[in-house]
Amino acid sequence: MLCRMAIVAITSSGIKNARRYVSVMESAGAETRVLIPDDHSSLPTEELMDGVGGLLLCGGPDVDPALYGEVPDPDAGLTLNRPLDDLELRILDFALERDMPVLAICRGMQLLNVAFGGKLIQDLPGHRSQKVDDKWVPGSHVIYIAPGAKAAPVIGMAGFFKVNSLHHQGLKEAHRAPRLMTTAYEVEDGLIEGLESPEHSWVIGLQCHPERQDEVPKLFDNLFLGLRERAETYISALAA
């Protein structure tokens, strides 16, 4: 019997924003399906996810504070896209109900926390790119990934890693959804850098951007290989 290439759904605000994620997933051997609000908001979730074995929630605009019971802070410089929020929440709900593997990056990790009932800090100064000599330079910091994290064996090890920092929202323990587990944090200020769901087989969230492969350790490529492998296993189990 021929082995089907795994399809990984990638939700994004637009095709341009999704390109880097598509590239890393295809390099990992997966087929991709990009889902964007402009084209897919009106289609049934079952149709959008037909044949999909894994979900990648990628970086993008800010999550609407109304979704976690707050009013947008006028000084936070928020960029909102509620149609994207709504699309991702129903796609994520579909995936979680079926124990489909999920990799949630940056905004994706924040959305994961909100979907489970958590909140966000609306603005975090000093955590994104800075202009140096007329060039934008990504921020960076050191994070610690716990040995008990599911991400640790996927990456290849636990411990301290220097990674990029390209976000202005985030969360600390007070904002974390109780059903999620903190698996990584920033060493200097204690911001949560990793979330996982103990209720699911493979739901991994990271605040950094591993798709920007020259800004994180090479081992982080294994996250995309791991998602592809899990997606293949998911599809094989459905066909059995």
**Amino acid making up residue 188:** E
d(CA 124, CA 172): 11
Provide the residue type at 155 as one letter. Answer: I
* Closest CA relative to residue 54, chosen from 13, 121, 125, 4: 4
Q: Where are the beta strands (DSSP E) in the chain?
A: 7-11, 31-35, 52-57, 102-105, 130-132, 135-137, 139-145, 159-165, 181-186, 192-196, 203-206
Asked whether the CA dihedral 38, 43, 45, 51 is positive or negative, the reply is negative
Give catalytic residues, as residue numbers.
Answer: 106, 209, 211
3 state SS for 125-155: CCCCCEEECCEEECEEEEEEECCCCCHHHHH
* DSSP at 122: S
How many beta carbons lie within 10 A of that of residue 90, not counting itself?
15
